[in-house]
Amino acid sequence: MAYRETSRVRERKQATRQAILNNALRMLNESGFSGLQMAALARQCQLATGTLYRYFSSKEALCTAVFEYATDIEIGRVAAQLQQPQLTAPEHIAAALTTFAKRALRAPIAAWALIAEPVEPAVNHARLRYREQYATLFSRAIDDGIAQQSLPPQNSTLSSHALVGAIAEALIGPLAQQQPQHLNQTIAAAVQFCLQAITAKPYPTIFPDQEC
Amino acid sequence: MAYRETSRVRERKQATRQAILNNALRMLNESGFSGLQMAALARQCQLATGTLYRYFSSKEALCTAVFEYATDIEIGRVAAQLQQPQLTAPEHIAAALTTFAKRALRAPIAAWALIAEPVEPAVNHARLRYREQYATLFSRAIDDGIAQQSLPPQNSTLSSHALVGAIAEALIGPLAQQQPQHLNQTIAAAVQFCLQAITAKPYPTIFPDQEC
């Protein structure tokens, strides 16, 4: 009789996979991709290293999965800000960028890992796909703003990619050397840069006190 | 008697190294880092593959050297635009961004390779160092602009990194699918985004007809 995976076995495997990802994400928060070691992760998960390799066939496969897991969470938060009711397009975009920036600053090592840490090509490919997803979200918001005249006419594809590049780069370079008490100003300056770019007028550097 | 390299031998080695880099750069222009193969490059240079490895010990070492060689040229062009006499800071920055964009569009495969193509970590590390160099150039120009009141007060470190992120990201995503007749509009839109971000006022999408 051929072996068939019961639904209980599938569920257990799924739970183990999730536990591995959660532990890996914790390690990413502490020391980036360079600190994510298969043997140490297996110990954290109370698994044999060989068992870990049955779930993720290589370190590159694990890193890609952790990258996607972590970035899905970040994109979900940004998307939620873009869907808040009763905001104009520039308000949506400011809220989304603020959330992105605040979350990046709360977990700067993970942010560096997700945005810019030198990684294997497979993770780099995933990065490019996800940057495209962020750009698509912003592009829709910009199109809404142009239609509702809360934003001036512009090439929304270009502006959305430029927004993604600007916010990502702004949060890895200067932030690395930032004092905690200056983080709010950094967020405000990054959001100001982006909003001025798409609205073509001064944007106040007031720090919006929002949940993220 | 110990072997000592004569200056003639040194010169010849230097010339061979330069010929390798020139050929590698031509291959990069045609097919990016993924198309840069040691054996094919050796053939192009009329060298044995083993000889090529005496100049560059691995593909990663070669790619890093080609990256640095190509990016030094690009940074030189951007720096030259920032030093033109009798321009204001925003004019300097617009000229530098236009040059960066025009050169990227003339060689889109090389631009993709230099800016975003998934590569080995060593090349990625070089990319981060060079992005920092670009940011330093822009940061100085922004500081000049603030001092001369041609730019509003702003965090020049943050703005300069955001500029680098914005222009780089704008030129790889949308440009990949661009028709040649739209390239000038793309450049103008990218420069407009960046200038509005740092000046907080509308910037015309006129395409400056400059050498680069």
Alpha helices (H) along A83-155 = 89-106, 108-115, 121-147
Distance (Å, whole) CA A158 – CA B69? 28
Check whether A211 has a pLDDT greater than 80. Answer: no
Among residues A102, A202, A29, A23, the alpha carbon closest in space to that of B199 is found at A202
- What is residue B2's predicted lDDT score, i.e. its pLDDT? 62
Give pLDDT tens digits for A140-193. 999 999 999 999 999 999 999 999 999 999 988 655 556 767 788 889 999 999
Does the pLDDT at position A7 exceed 80?
Answer: yes
A chain contacts of residue B112, beta-carbon cutoff 8 Å? none
* Cα–Cα distance, A187 to A33 (Å, whole number): 25
Substitution target in B59, B123, B158, B178 with the highest count of A β-carbons within 10 Å is B158
How many CB pairs below 8 Å do chains A and B form together?
138
Count CA atoms closer than 13 A to A89's CA, side-chain side.
21
Amino acid at B106: R
Task: Indicate yes or no: CB of B189 within 8 angstroms of CB of A155.
Answer: yes
Q: Which residue of B has its CA nearest to A157?
A: B174
Determine the residue among B155, B192, B198, B207 to mutate to test chain A binding: the one whose Cβ has the most chain A Cβ atoms within 10 Å. B155
Question: First and final CA of chain B: distance in angstroms?
Answer: 52
Q: Which CATH architecture group holds A64-199?
A: Orthogonal Bundle (1.10)
Q: For chain B, list residues with pLDDT below 70.
A: 1-3, 173-178, 180, 206-212
Kindly list the distances between the CA atom of residue A163 and the CA atoms of A103, A131, B148, B168, in Å, as whole numbers in the listed order. 17, 10, 27, 11
CATH class of B61-199: mainly alpha
The answer to whether B97 contacts chain A (CB < 8 Å) is: no
For residue A119, CA distances in Å to A113, A116, B109, B173 come to 8, 8, 21, 20
Q: How far is B9 from chain A (nearest CA, A)?
A: 37
The whole-chain average pLDDT of chain A stands at 91
CA B170/CA A194 separation, integer angstroms:
13
Ordered by start, the domain boundaries in chain B are: 61-199
Amino acid at A188: A
A192/B154 touch (CB, cutoff 8 Å), yes or no: yes
C-alpha closest to that of A64 among A107, A19, A30, A114: A114
In this structure, the dihedral spanned by the alpha carbons of residues B161, B136, B84 and B175, taken in order and rounded to 10 degrees, is: -40
B-chain residues near A172 (CB < 8 A): 161
